[in-house]
Amino acid sequence: MLNSLYEKAIAKRGFIHDIDSETDVESQLEYKWFDRDIQESSDDFSIAAGDGSFNKKKFLTTNFCAVGAESIIYDGEIKKIDDSDIFDIANVSFLDELLGNYMAIYELKCALRTINDYNVDYYMFDGSLLGDLQNAFPRGAQLPSKLRDNMDDALLNEFERRLKIRQYGLVFPEIRDSLKLMELPKREDANKVEEYNLHLSAIEKIVLLKEILQHRKKIISISKTSSDNDLFHWNIPDIAFLDKFTEKQGISLIKHREVHKKLAFQYYNDFFKGLTFTVFYIRLQDNKGVLKVELPYKASKEEVFSIIKKIKFLSVQGYPYLLNKAHNDVVITDRNMKELLKIAKIYETTNREVMSW
């Protein structure tokens, strides 16, 4: 089979087409990208950054999962806080979506602790909060009818109350059990638990997103990748277009975006639909990668340029040092998973081992 694949690869060499060589790139970039030397801020400020990670080991009957997040604070010296846990989760088709919710919850709680306990001036997220809001609803499993019937103000109030008390870990399992939102499943229906967990963890994430956006003037979202093409409207992402056709430090046209009009949030709908995000692209160092930046408020040009200088202040090789360090610290490797399994004394045959017989 591999030989036939090699032959097809030769036959289709170059089938991923580049932008037409006749495209007038300069006209595309005019008024949308501006070469500009970016200076470092000389202001006195504190700044933090955070990231999260998860990994899993599949077994025949279950999955061993590890999730964690870390925030790094710089206020003249480096400080760290983190949160993490390990879980066993059934073999469900939406496992990555569920773990993504768990990871987001840990990230948001670390961010809130950082903002509240250390009173930082700015907090950098890895990724897109606007994207999180526009993909806030679970897709991997339908909403169980019993949970749908209980998605009222009482449930929201319980989340808000417990989240004020519990700044670590996940609170939705306690809410699920204390409010008896689901009956104990029969053994053959054990995966139903994870359907409830998927939707309840999404609610917990939404509550935390609302809480973090109360501090929106402190929040900076930074992405190295993005699928958005609102700037150039090409069939490739804007960030890829800029990476390919620009080299110098600079900034793109600043745009303002709102949460998609067709979305209707079960909770805090008016709050989320009333938000305006400021979106732009920057390159902090010549010949380095372009970054997408989102501010969860309608920022003026002066505010944008002030933020860019602050990002540049602690950047190395064109990328914020604190974000890079948080990512490197928090990543859970396959080697880490093997060590965790050994420490937890978990041994079971995996599918891969069965296939190797």
Is residue 233's pLDDT more than 90?
A: no
Range from 93-102, 123-132, 211-220, 346-355 carrying the lowest mean pLDDT: 346-355
Mean pLDDT of the chain: 90
- 247 pLDDT higher than 60: yes
| Strand partners of residue 277 | 257
Q: Is 187 helix (H, G, I), strand (E, B) or coil?
A: helix
The least confident of 11-15, 33-37, 249-253, 296-300 is: 11-15
The set of residues, in sequence order, having a beta carbon less than 8 Å from that of 128 and lying 6+ positions away, is 221, 223, 226, 292, 294
State the pLDDT at residue 182: 78
Residue 215 has pLDDT above 60, yes or no: yes
pLDDT at 354: 41
pLDDT classification of 280: cutoffs 50, 70, 90: very high
| 193 pLDDT more than 60 | yes
Mean pLDDT of 271-297: 96
Q: HEC string of the chain? A: CHHHHHHHHHHCCCCCCCCCCCCCHHHHHCCCEEECCCCCCCCCCCEEEEEEEEEEEECCCCEEEEEEEEEEEECCCEEEEEEEEEEEECCCCCHHHHHHHHHHHHHHHHHHHHHHHHCCCEEEEECCHHHHHHCCCCCCCCCCHHHHCCCCHHHHHHHHHHHHHCCCCCCHHHHHHHCCCCCCCCHHHCCHHHHHHHHHHHHHHHHHHHHHHHHHHHEEEEECCCCCCCCCCCCCCHHHHHHHHCCCCEEECCEEEECCCCCCCCCCHHHHHCCEEEEEEEECCCCCCCEEEEECCCCCHHHHHHHHHHHHHCEECCEEHHHHHHHHHHCCCHHHHHHHHHHHCCCCCCHHHHHCC
Pick from 67, 57, 97: which is nearest to 194 by CA?
97
pLDDT digits 0-9 by tens, 135-153 = 888 999 888 888 888 899 9
What is the tens place of the pLDDT at every residue in 299-347? Answer: 999 999 999 999 999 999 999 999 999 999 999 999 999 999 999 888 7
Residue 356 — very low, low, confident or very high, per pLDDT cuts 50/70/90? Answer: very low
What's the whole-number mean pLDDT along residues 279-301?
Answer: 96
